[in-house]
Amino acid sequence: MAGKGVTLMEKQDSRFVLCARGLSVSFFDHAVLRDVSLNVPAGGIAVLVGRSGSGKTTFLRSVNRLNEEVSGCRTEGSVELRLPGGKVDVWPGVGPDAVPLAELRRRVGMVFQTPQVFPVTVCRNISVPLSVTMGCPRSELDDRVKDALVRVDLWREVADRLDMSAERLSGGQQQRLCLARALALEPDMLLLDEPTASLDVRSARHVEDLLLALSEQLPVIMVSHGLAQSLRLASFMAVMEEGRLRCEISNPDGMEEGDLERLLDGAEDVRGEEAN
């Protein structure tokens, strides 16, 4: 059974952007993810949903190996990415397809649950990572900063305030700045941890539109608490529950919020069985 699955997968290599096999993560022997196997199809936005504490953030962070930065973390299983730039062995990260940690993290951009701007100017928030991780020459920095800000539709608002501390931007602007910072590094994939959690309805919609546009250019995996939002954005959904993958929904179109609610509450749903 397992062998058949693997050959099937290899045939359909390009269908998936992310393949996690038997992924378990624990912090100080407290299991947070238990044996999660998930294939995320390419194209569109993949949304992770689940109750608070179900391990969504932890799953997302095992894709760019950020969990390792936290002490007491143990990861088992394997994670693999099929990015435009080629196959990447994320974890265990020892094979021929493994890439250095810094490069992996640059190629897999992440935006956090709460805006995490650096306490420097708006401009340097983008230019410093650019020049440090990509060795971008000084002469190109200004253009790249502008490009990134334009992409997230922030340029008009901050064009004349590039030298202001980024901490003085509004919450929504900060979150878009974080997105711009990640995009400036030309990632092959985006991980978004509740990118609209700290935004009001209008800025949230704004960011959603941005994400939909972005998902045409690169794979996007995001965590969302809002059921309506998930349904609006998702072309694939994974429901998590207490560290396990509860079900996958490969075609959420036409689903109702109520369906999703019931799913989160633990009711069985036939549609959940599809992709596996």
Partner 1 sequence: MRNATSVRRMSRSGEAGLAMLRLSVVLAMGGMALLFLMVVAFALPAFVQNGGGGPFSWSWSPGHGEFGILPMMVGSVAVGGLAVIPGWVTGVCLCCWLLSPTRAGRPGPWRVLVAGLVRVMTAVPTVVYGFAAVFLLAPSLRMWLGGSGFSWLAASVMLSVLILPTVVLVLQAGLAPRLEALSLSGVALGMNRLELLWHLVLPASRATLLSAAVLGFGRAVGDTMLPLMLAGNAPVMPDSLLSGVRTLTAHMALVTSNEVGGQAYDSLFMAGLLLLVINGTVSLVIRHMGGRA
Ligand X SMILES: Nc1ncnc2c1ncn2[C@@H]1O[C@H](COP(=O)(O)OP(=O)(O)OP(=O)(O)O)[C@@H](O)[C@H]1O
Q: How far is CA 230 from the centre of its chain?
A: 14
Name the residue whose CB lies closest to ligand X: 57
Angle at 165 between CA 163 and CA 167, to 5 degrees: 150
> Is there binding between residue 102 and ligand X (CB under 6 A)?
no
Binding partner of residue 55 among Mg ion, ligand X, partner 1, none, CB cut-off 5 to 8 Å per kind: ligand X
Among ligand X, Mg ion, partner 1, none, partner that 116 touches (CB below 5 to 8 angstroms by kind): partner 1
* Residue with smaller CB distance to ligand X, 57 or 125: 57
Supply φ then ψ for residue 13, to 5 degrees: -40, -50
* 178 contacts partner 1 (rule: CB under 8 A): yes
Asked if 42 contacts 15 with a C-beta cutoff of 8 angstroms, the reply is yes
Nearest residue to 122 (alpha-carbon basis) of 90, 79, 154: 154
Task: Report the site for partner 1 in 68-107 (rule: CB under 8 A).
Answer: 68-71, 102-106
Site residues, Mg ion (CB under 5 A) = 57
Which of Mg ion, ligand X, partner 1, none does 150 bind, CB closer than 5 to 8 A by kind?
A: none
Stretch that binds ligand X, among 48-56, 103-111, 168-176, 205-213 (CB under 6 A): 48-56
Cβ-based nearer residue to ligand X, 62 or 174: 62
Out of 133, 198, 203, 250, point to the residue binding partner 1 (CB under 8 A): 133
Figure out which of the listed residues 122, 185, 211, 247 binds partner 1, where binding follows CB under 8 A: 185
Spatial distance between the Cα atoms of 258 and 276, rounded to a whole number of angstroms: 23
Q: DSSP code of 165? A: B
User: Is residue 106 classed as helix, strand or coil in its secondary structure?
Assistant: helix
Cβ proximity to ligand X: between 24 and 131 the closer is 24
Among 244, 239, 243, smallest CA distance to 262 is for 239
Q: Pick from 6, 132, 159, 267 the residue near partner 1 by CB under 8 A.
A: 132
Phi, psi of 219, rounded to the nearest 5 degrees: -65, 140
How many other C-beta atoms are found inside a 10 Å radius of the C-beta of residue 276? Answer: 12
- What phi-psi label fits residue 225: left (phi over 0), alpha (psi between -120 and 50 degrees) or beta? alpha
Residue 79 or 158 with smaller CB distance to Mg ion? 79
Structure tokens at 146: 């502008």
Q: Does 70 bind ligand X (CB under 6 A)?
A: yes
Distance CA 116, CA 249 (A): 31
Exactly one of 52, 96, 160, 216 binds ligand X (CB under 6 A); that residue is 52
CB closer to ligand X, 14 vs 52: 52
Residues 13-42 that bind ligand X (CB under 6 A): 27, 30, 32
What is the binding site for ligand X (CB under 6 A)?
Answer: 27, 30, 32, 50, 52-58, 70
